[in-house]
């Protein structure tokens, strides 16, 4: 009987170890085929630009192609739901953006809970937004812009990539803190042609998206939205220099379906952080106005939770409703 019991315990222990061993084997073999990185916005958007840079760099490190797949719609909810419903095998990932944190409070009914259903994998970059105006506007500074807006209530059109997106919410925070009144003009596609053409006068958008237009003097940068100035536009002040306490940062990272194994998440985190440490890659990010932001999954999760709580307060105060 003792022999049988000992053999039973050995067999039971071996069986219990099999799932862990299998997960480790999958992680060591991962990725063995193409990985899809889902972006919830159209091609050409700042999110898309950053996703392609990261995807290329990680592809080179892991020896498998990272396909950037644009799934725009509902302020990135369409793309997010695609990843939530995907098999948790590491082959369908999400580019996480501020919109994911904003949408948690903006939409009353979602088919998913972002914090519950998406596992943070790695932070990628912090990207300042810039307050950019059409050069024909008489305002050349933030104080001049505020004065003009107060003298002309409802006559400044503020573009965004949609109701409740970061380009909208960042502008709403500015309005709340300065007491001005602008007309929100949401776009489903690219707002830049209309901004350059003067149909809309101002936008709060990622530097990544607008920096080349600013350098070519096709748009005028009034300020960056981060608490301090950006190295990409060192002569452009921060909004906070004129509106104390204003701060709105763009940030991007990678997420996976919640049940994705810890081993695969750890491997992706390690490889993404290694890519971010590459001086050439960091220089490319800096040229676009972004700063590499290396974090553990737990650290990135804290960023997401903090941003979710912050923008929930703005959405309630401004009484913003989703389309």
Calculate the CA dihedral of residues 38, 43, 45, 50 and round it to 10 degrees: 50
Q: Is the pLDDT of residue 5 over 70?
A: no
Helix orientation angle between 207-215 and 46-62, rounded to the nearest 10 degrees: 110
pLDDT band at 216 (very low <50, low <70, confident <90, very high): very high
Contact present, 318 and 177 (Cβ < 8 Å): no
- Could you tell me which CATH number the domain at 34-127+250-318 has? 3.40.190.150
DSSP state letters, 285-319: HHHTT-EE----HHHHHHHHHHHHHHHHHHHHHHT
Q: What DSSP character marks residue 74?
A: G
The CATH class given to the 128-241 domain equals alpha beta
Task: State what percent of residues in the chain have pLDDT above 70.
Answer: 91
Q: For residue range 77-128, list pLDDT tens digits in order.
A: 999 999 999 999 999 999 999 999 999 999 988 999 999 999 999 999 998 9
Rounded to two decimals, what is the model's pTM?
0.82
Section 144-168 average pLDDT: 94
CA dist., res. 54 & res. 66, Å (int): 9
39-80: pLDDT as tens digits: 998 888 889 999 999 999 999 999 999 999 999 988 899 999
Mean pLDDT of 158-184: 94
CA–CA separation, 95 vs 252, rounded Å?
Answer: 7
pLDDT digits (tens, 9 = 90+) for 228-277: 999 889 999 999 999 999 999 899 999 999 999 999 999 999 999 999 99
Q: Using pLDDT thresholds of 50, 70 and 90, give the confidence band for residue 3.
A: very low
Instruction: Tell me the pLDDT band of 15, cut-offs 50, 70 and 90.
Output: very low
Q: CA-based diameter of the chain, in Å?
A: 93
Domain with CATH 3.40.190.10 in the chain: 128-241
Residues of the chain within CATH 3.40.190.150 domain(s) are 34-127+250-318
- pLDDT value for 12: 47
What are the beta bridge partners of residue 94? 38, 255
CB 255 within 8 Å of CB 114: no
């Amino acid at each position: 009987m003792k022999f049988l019991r000992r053999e039973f315990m050995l067999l039971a222990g071996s069986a219990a170890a099999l799932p862990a061993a299998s997960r480790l084997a999958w992680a060591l073999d991962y990725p063995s085929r193409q990985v899809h990185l889902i972006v919830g916005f159209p091609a050409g958007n700042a999110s898309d630009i950053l996703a392609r840079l990261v995807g290329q760099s990680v592809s080179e490190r892991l020896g498998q192609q990272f396909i950037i797949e644009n799934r725009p719609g509902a302020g990135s909810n369409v793309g997010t739901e695609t990843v939530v419903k995907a098999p948790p095998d590491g082959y369908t990932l999400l580019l996480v953006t501020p919109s994911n944190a904003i949408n948690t409070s903006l939409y009353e009914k979602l088919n998913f809970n972002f914090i519950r259903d998406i596992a943070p994998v790695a932070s990628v970059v912090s990207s300042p937004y810039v307050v950019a105006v059409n050069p024909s506007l008489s305002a050349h500074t933030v104080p001049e812009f505020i004065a003009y807006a107060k003298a002309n209530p409802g006559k400044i059109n503020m573009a965004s990539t949609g109701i409740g997106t970061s380009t909208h919410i960042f502008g709403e925070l500015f309005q709340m803190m300065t007491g001005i009144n602008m007309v929100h003009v949401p776009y489903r596609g690219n707002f830049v042609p209309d901004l350059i053409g003067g149909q809309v006068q101002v936008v709060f958008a990622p530097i990544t998206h607008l920096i080349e237009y600013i350098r070519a003097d096709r748009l005028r940068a009034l300020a960056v939205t981060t608490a301090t100035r950006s190295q990409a536009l060192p002569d452009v002040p921060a909004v906070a220099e004129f509106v104390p306490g204003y701060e709105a940062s763009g940030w991007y990272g990678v997420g996976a379906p919640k049940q994705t194994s810890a081993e695969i998440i750890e491997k992706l985190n390690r490889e993404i952080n290694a890519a971010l440490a590459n001086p050439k890659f960091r220089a490319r990010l800096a040229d676009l106005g972004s700063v590499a932001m290396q974090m553990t999954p737990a650290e990135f999760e804290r960023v997401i939770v903090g941003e979710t709580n912050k923008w929930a307060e703005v959405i309630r105060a401004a009484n913003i409703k989703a389309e």
